[in-house]
Every structure is written in C-alpha cells, then in structure tokens.
Amino acid sequence: MRRALLRPLALGALALLLTGCAASVPSPSGDQLGGSLTVYAAASLKGSFDEIAEAFTAKHPEVEISPVYDGSSTLATQIAEGAPADVFASADEATMAKVSPFALDPAVFASNTLVITVPAGNPKKVETLADLADLVTVLCAPEVPCGAASAKLLSAAGVTVDAASLEQNVTAVLTKVAAGEADAGLVYATDVVGRSDVASIAPEGADEVVNRYPIAALKDAANPDAAAAFIAFVRSGAGQKILARHGFGAP
C-alpha cells in the first residue's frame, strides 16, 4: 500500500505539514456569524436599534441586518401570518404574548414612559394632561402599546380626550405634532430625545405607567445563530449604553 512505502523522513515532513495546516484554520466561533438577519422592532426603537445594528455589524461584518419598524401590534400580526422575521422586539409584554407560539424565551431589555409632546415653543401653553381635553390632540390607537399606555395614563388622571386621530404607531403621533397638525400628543420619552421641532412635558403619574420592552428570537428564524447573538448584544453592557443614550430606562 502507498502508506506503507512512505519513508520516515517523508512521514515526518507530512506530520509537520498537517500540524501547520491545522494551526492556520480558525476554530468555529460566534465571530464567524454571517448571512442576513431580519429584525422586527417597535417604531419607538428605531433610533437606538439603528445604532445597535451598526455596532453589531462592526463586530460581525458578515451579518447584514434588515430592520423593520412599525407599531408592535402591526408587527405581531405580520409575524403570526408568517412574516420572515428572525427577531422581534416589542414595546410591551402584552403584544409579545400575542406571538408566544412563535417566540423563544422573550426577555425584557428596556423600559419607557410617556410624555406630552407639543410643537416647539409650546404655543398652546400645555402644562398638564387635563389641558389635552381642550386641544387638538392625537394619540396612538388603543390596540398598540403606546395607545394602551396612553389610555391607562389618562384614565388614572381622570381625563377624557376626544382624539383628533388615532395612529398605528408612536412615530405618526410625533410627526403630526411636529408638523403643527395637532396641538399635542402622547409619545414615549425616548421619542423626543434630541428633537428641536417639538417640546415635551412629563405629566404627573407617568412614572406609574411603564412600558417594559421584551425581545425574542422567532422559532422559525432563518438565521438563529445571528438572532441569538443580536439579542445578546442588545442585552449586553454595550447595547444597554446605547439604549440609555436614547432615553430608555433599565429593564
């Protein structure tokens, strides 16, 4: 046989060659993640998740992240209908519960509270929740997390608001107020961070209505390894620092 004909010197050279090759081949690790990763996230997470995605891809350059931002309830409906998401980050636990048959081990990673938002300069001199009853006010629809939180906050304050419109995500509320199409609205505290076209007022009782944000990989994720790594990064010290810069509270 050919193996029996090899001389001792040749065998030694072969052994050295194989050892060198083995040393040059990196062992599998999380740093070798690749492929595409689709992240469905609440509209209020856009600024922070865009920055988190940039930091994550700097660490894992072979992963291409495709974020989809909208109202949590809209995203949950799409997931239930088979949308090809790898990760879902919701603005409240109740909405995450709606996709529990499709999600793996949701974990809370951030918290948020509501503020009154008004156009820059506060032309209507809004001070309290009670003022909203007499103004052109826009709110999130009750079926989305910011709408459910708004209803709870207004109810606790004994204030009834006949909303000029009910929006499907918090970004739409902020857009209308910033454009002067409404006198005021209720949005998350994080939505007004760094904005010069709107002002905000922290209403009494807002600290009692806290939205807790959970994140989870989907059971049929096309890229489960990248999904798990992304979630770990969101929950890591680096991810938490980014979220804090955007105004989010601790989990």
Give 156-209 pLDDT, tens digit per residue. Answer: 999 999 999 999 999 999 999 999 999 999 999 999 999 999 999 999 999 999
* pTM > 0.75: yes
pLDDT score of 1 more than 80: no
pLDDT at 23 over 60: no
Name the burial class of residue 17, with classes exposed (0-12), middle (13-18) and buried (19+) by CB atoms within 10 angstroms of its CB.
Answer: exposed
pLDDT tens string 36-84: 999 999 999 999 999 999 999 999 999 999 999 999 999 999 999 999 9
Alpha helices in the chain (DSSP H): 2-5, 8-24, 46-59, 72-80, 93-98, 145-157, 170-178, 224-235, 237-245
Q: Which domains are present in the chain? A: 32-111+212-245 (3.40.190.10), 114-208 (3.40.190.10)
User: Among 14-23, 115-124, 213-222, which stretch is predicted with the lowest mean pLDDT?
Assistant: 14-23
pLDDT at 31: 57
